Amino acid sequence: MSSKVKKKIQKLKESSTLVINEKSKDLISKGKKVFQFGFGQSPFPIPDEIVEKLKKNAYRKEYLPIQGLPRLREKISKYLLTRTGNDYPKENILITPGSKEAMLLIHLAFNGEIIIPAPGWVSYEPQAEIGSNKVHWLETSRSNNWFPTGKELEKKIKSINKKNNLILILNSPNNPSGTVCNNLEELARVAKKHKVLVLSDEIYTDLTFSNEYKSISKYYPELTFITGGLSKWCGAGGWRLGFLAVPKKLTEFLSSLKSLASESYSTVNTPTQYASIEAYANEHKQYKLKVRAILNAVGNYVYTNLKSNKILIAPPQGAFYLMPEFKNKKYKTSSKLCEAILDETGVAMLPGSDFGFKPKKMLTRLSYTDFNGTEFFKNVTNCSQIDDEMIKKFAPNVVEGVSKLSNWAKNL
Ligand SMILES: Cc1ncc(COP(=O)(O)O)c(C=O)c1O
């Protein structure tokens, strides 16, 4: 008898991000100290005002419209207008259980192929496979801050059958490199020339350390989808509140996406949608400044103390990741390298091969969030005064893990 599970689904493996977390937990249960640099989760508390709104709305039990609460969509529309200068009307916004689901719906609906710059987030490729959309990886380099150049993008587009529709996925600040794209305008020009759609994953854009919100939609609003949500900037990953903004020219997608939503999750839970109005109605400026300042300081500490003639690394620009590259001849793949590091130092990181790089590239993803964000947040009164002493006090695991990693690399 043939297998009861579809072949393409069988091939999917559990996201490596979760696997490394499980493996770390296992080591901890055996009494080993593990530095959790593998799992990317915001350590900060959700702003009180937003939590209060969730409490106040906990009694609500009715289903909301599939597309989401109109007032929430209106606030998100305004939020995007102030950040990108573009009008994504509330009618073109879909509230989803996390932005991950929004992207999956696009893959399910889209008829075409996908260009993913490497490094790219672990779920992009499996999602495209679920949607039966062919993936074209586009490897980037350190010299362009780990984003494609216009030329590289154009070359890739030209190598693909012209008749097929294309989506370029862009994620800045980037998971895993922690870098911000400096050539959005150039990429927009190329995408526009070849009528390539863009899926701009802006889940980390509020965590840009230069305090600017840069979106490719500024230069290419007509064919850019934007996804975002509460998971990163306000640490509410478990609330599962994301959104998708569809450009007016692509409104044809909306009814299909709504059908897919209605036949799967129906609508995002009601209390969270009401609470999220608060998240988008106000700027939460002080909160965001503080969160960015702490992340920037911790990221810089890691960067300064790791970079050496054995470890190449770009300075932190946003999100909470760095992508160290280890110069070595000992290990054949980045995954073997990560295993050895976990075994010998207790530092858990993810291999670059999980993010679209060839296995023999010695890149890794380091997430510098292994600290008590509530304590750190409470103790910062002046963002410009976060020094090494504070980092040692409030992020001791990061400090110790970095020291172990740096010493380990000396023997490479
Ligand atoms: C690059 C990137 N995009 C999207 C997501 C999905 O976030 P969520 O579904 O929680 O909105 C994540 C989460 O880790 C991510 O790292």
Do residues 221 and 80 make contact, with C-beta atoms less than 8 angstroms apart? no
* Cα(219) to centroid(ligand 1), Å: 23
Q: How much distance in Å is there from the Cα of 94 to the middle of ligand 1? A: 16
Instruction: Tell which one of 20, 100, 207 to mutate to probe ligand 1, the residue whose CB is within 8 A of the most ligand atoms.
Output: 100
Global confidence as pTM: 0.96
Q: What is the pLDDT of residue 227?
A: 98
List all residues whose CB is within 6 A of at least one atom of ligand 1. Answer: 40, 98-100, 121, 171, 175, 201, 203, 229, 231, 237, 242
Residue 288 CA to ligand 1 centre (angstroms): 18
Tell me what pLDDT residue 396 has.
Answer: 98
Amino acid at 409: A
Helical ranges in 202-349 per DSSP H: 252-262, 270-281, 285-306, 334-345
Displacement of CA 197 from its chain's centroid (Å): 19
Q: Cα(225) to centroid of ligand 1, in Å?
A: 15
Q: How many other CB atoms are there within 10 angstroms of residue 73's CB atom? A: 25
The number of the ligand 1 atom at minimal distance from the alpha carbon of 237 is: 10
Q: Tokens 């979760």 identify what position?
A: 18
| Residue 287: Cβ-neighbour burial (10 angstroms; 0-12, 13-18, 19+) | buried
Nearest C-alpha neighbor of 119 from the set 286, 363, 338, 408: 363
Tokens encoding 394: 């409030």
Rounded to an integer, what distance in angstroms lies between the CA atom of residue 347 and that of residue 343?
Answer: 8
Taking the CA of residue 171 as reference, the ligand 1 atom at the shortest distance is 1
Could you identify the atom of ligand 1 that is nearest to the CA of residue 229? 11
- Atom nearest to 100 CA in ligand 1: 9
Residue with CA closest to ligand 1 atom 5: 100
Q: Tokens at residue 320, please?
A: 């909470």
C-alpha–C-alpha distance, residues 170 and 184, integer Å: 9
The share of the chain scoring above pLDDT 70, in percent, equals 98
Nearest CA to ligand 1 atom 6: 100
DSSP, residue by residue, 86-121: ----GGGEEEESSHHHHHHHHHHH--SEEEEEES--
What's the confidence (pLDDT) of residue 3?
84
Residues 6+ away with beta carbon under 8 Å from 356: 116, 117, 118, 119, 120, 125, 137, 139
Residues linked to residue 168 through DSSP beta bridges, in sequence order: 115, 198
Looking at ligand 1, which residue's alpha carbon is closest to its atom 14? 40
The pLDDT, as a whole number, for residue 70 is: 98
Q: What is the pLDDT of residue 316?
A: 98
CA of 129 to the centre of ligand 1 (A): 18
Beta pairing, strands 113-118 & 166-171: parallel
Q: Residues in the chain with pLDDT < 70? A: 14-20
Kindly give the distance from the C-alpha atom of residue 203 to the centroid of ligand 1, in angstroms, as a whole number. Answer: 6
What's the token pair of residue 68? 């989401």
Task: Name all domains of the chain by residue range, CATH numbers in brackets.
Answer: 7-45+285-410 (3.90.1150.10), 49-281 (3.40.640.10)
